[in-house]
Homo-oligomer: A and B are copies of this chain.
């Protein structure tokens, strides 16, 4: 049975136009997907009339927008008819299998935690992304910004979240987990990473392979790189900035394109009861399409259920 993925029509700087274009791309190329679109009904209606795949689009009228400047927490309460809140409520009720939005990251993340809930009470959900490597398959890194300040125990939970993603979405059997740090040795780093190192060694839930300095991110020495949201966000944005500089200086290479947000397919929210993917604010049609496909991939693996089991068993 085709999975039904929710799409936020309003999310992103080029919404709704690019969102509609991205939706078309996915429906054209992927016969085995249905999309429930949350947004202004009138905008989507022409698409369902004109195209042969109208059977595969469902529209939920959600005319309110959560803007980039809106406070994440307040908008959950003040904008119940927004595309994001409606979409997450549909996901909560099991009416869709996943939800994808390129809107306000803070609002989507915060609303996901409030509406869907964390898989277990003490687990702090986080955001992850893929790390492109020149000669090896992608690794993943988490958290990339949802939790700026964390405790060592939170980093250990991130490790388990990343382990589950690698097992069930990337089909890696025994994922290797590394701690992002400023030295290789156990005693190197700040108070957080030193304490996390000791904890990771004792934690039997995942396979810890030690500290990783930033150059190790790009070599096949681990599958999951764990760090605070502050460090992860710095790493993500610095990588994007340097890749962009090099491109502008005239270097063209397929490896650089793998850093492109268009191809990365957005950032999955891990640790909530549902498949949610957040796209880049500047998403074009291709990025929207890849975000929908990433969301379907995660939904089809029933990742959130497997994450819940992993935390319950541990």
Where the two chains meet, the residues of A that have a C-beta atom closer than 8 Å to any C-beta of B are 134, 145, 148-149, 180, 182, 189-191, 193, 213-215, 217-218, 228-231, 233-235, 237-246, 248-251, 253, 255-256
Closest-by-CB residue of B relative to A238 is B214
Copies of this chain in its oligomeric complex = 2
> Is the beta-carbon distance between A249 and B238 smaller than 8 angstroms?
no
* CB proximity of A3 to chain B, nearest CB, Å: 33
Chain B residues with CB under 8 A of A191? 148-149
A240-B217 Cα distance, complex, nearest whole Å: 12
* CB proximity of A180 to chain B, nearest CB, Å: 7
3 pairs of A and B residues whose beta carbons are closest in the complex: A215-B241, A214-B238, A148-B190
Q: List 15 A-B contacts (CB under 8 A).
A: A148-B189, A148-B190, A180-B234, A182-B233, A182-B234, A182-B237, A213-B237, A215-B238, A217-B238, A218-B242, A230-B231, A235-B238, A242-B243, A246-B251, A251-B251
Counting chain B CB atoms within 10 Å of each CB, which of A215, A235, A245 scores highest? A245
> Is the beta-carbon distance between A234 and B249 smaller than 8 angstroms?
no
* CB proximity of A227 to chain B, nearest CB, Å: 9
> Is the beta-carbon distance between B231 and A234 smaller than 8 angstroms?
yes
A241-B215 Cα distance, complex, nearest whole Å: 5
* CB proximity of A144 to chain B, nearest CB, Å: 9
Chain B residues with CB under 8 A of A255? 245, 249
Q: Which of B189, B193, B241 contacts A218 (CB 8 A)?
A: B241
A101-B128 Cα distance, complex, nearest whole Å: 40
Asked, given contacts A145-B182, A189-B148, A228-B190, whether A234 binds B214 with beta carbons under 8 Å apart, the answer is yes
* CB proximity of A225 to chain B, nearest CB, Å: 12
* CB proximity of A257 to chain B, nearest CB, Å: 12
Closest-by-CB residue of B relative to A188 is B148
A148-B248 Cα distance, complex, nearest whole Å: 33
A214-B145 Cα distance, complex, nearest whole Å: 14
